[in-house]
Amino acid sequence: MERSAFLERKTKETEVSVELSLDGGQIEISTGVGFFDHMLTSFAVHSGFGLRVKTVGDWHVDCHHTVEDTGIVLGKAFEEALGDKGGICRYGSVFIPMDEALGFAAADISGRPFLVFHADFPQERIGDFDTCMTEEFFRAFAMNSGVTLHLECKYGKNSHHMVEALFKAAAHALSKAASVENGDFILSSKGSL
């Protein structure tokens, strides 16, 4: 069974299209925010997911709507690509070092969306990307994917390294959680996720 999804979303602020394959594929990212493109590319590479993202946003405002709306559509695509969630590992967690920074992520594909986020970024901007948008992206993703996601940057001095550690940690945790290891068995005492 192919675990993939293609979704589009158009508002007065953004136009977003996301094609996601949980079992690998091409990676093409274009959001107009250079550092965000870099983070989504790292996310795809480290998760092993095939990911194509095209976002056109209201640049005359700032990067907020572009980043958040991409998170919304990616979250919905992730949930759709998982199908009935039969056989998935459900849980994944990892520490990722990035030079002086250490990121942590834990994911539960539970159907109960939640985000816990702890990171104090010393620099407020990385190129055209506002570091506060890291939390907004992951909140949008978690709320729309049905994933409980805990993210923490334990320490760091360079915001680029800290944000990248979090994206890579999230990628590895979600890849593990979405991996199929249990046949068709649904890992829940309720019998559904």
Q: Is the pLDDT of residue 192 over 90?
A: no
Residue 191 has pLDDT above 80, yes or no: no
pLDDT band at 60 (very low <50, low <70, confident <90, very high): confident
What pLDDT is stored for residue 122 in this prediction?
98
For residues 177-184, average pLDDT: 83
Whether residue 193 has pLDDT greater than 80: no
Q: What is the pLDDT of residue 183?
A: 67
**Mean local confidence (pLDDT), 43-62:** 94
CB–CB of 11/72 below 8 Å? no
pLDDT in tens, 116-157: 999 999 999 999 999 999 999 999 999 999 999 999 999 999
Angle at 150 between CA 144 and CA 151, to 5 degrees: 105
Question: Taking 90 as the threshold, does the pLDDT of residue 169 lie above it?
Answer: yes
pLDDT bracket for residue 181 (50, 70, 90)? confident
CB burial of residue 118 (10 Å; 0-12, 13-18, 19+): exposed
Architecture of domain 4-178: 2-Layer Sandwich (3.30)
Whole-angstrom distance, CA of residue 154 vs CA of residue 152 = 6
Question: How large is the average pLDDT for residues 67-80?
Answer: 98
Q: Residue 88 pLDDT more than 80?
A: yes
> How does residue 110 score in pLDDT terms, banded at 50, 70 and 90?
very high
The mean predicted confidence, pLDDT, of the chain is 95
Nearest to 176, CA basis, from 65, 5, 22: 22
Which residues are CB-neighbours of 190 under 8 A, at least 6 positions away? Answer: none
178 has pLDDT over 80: yes
The residue ranges of every structural domain in the chain are 4-178
Q: Categorise residue 48: left if φ over 0, alpha if ψ from -120 to 50, beta otherwise.
A: left
DSSP 9-42: EE-SSEEEEEEEETT---EEEE-S-HHHHHHHHH
DSSP 3-state of 107: strand
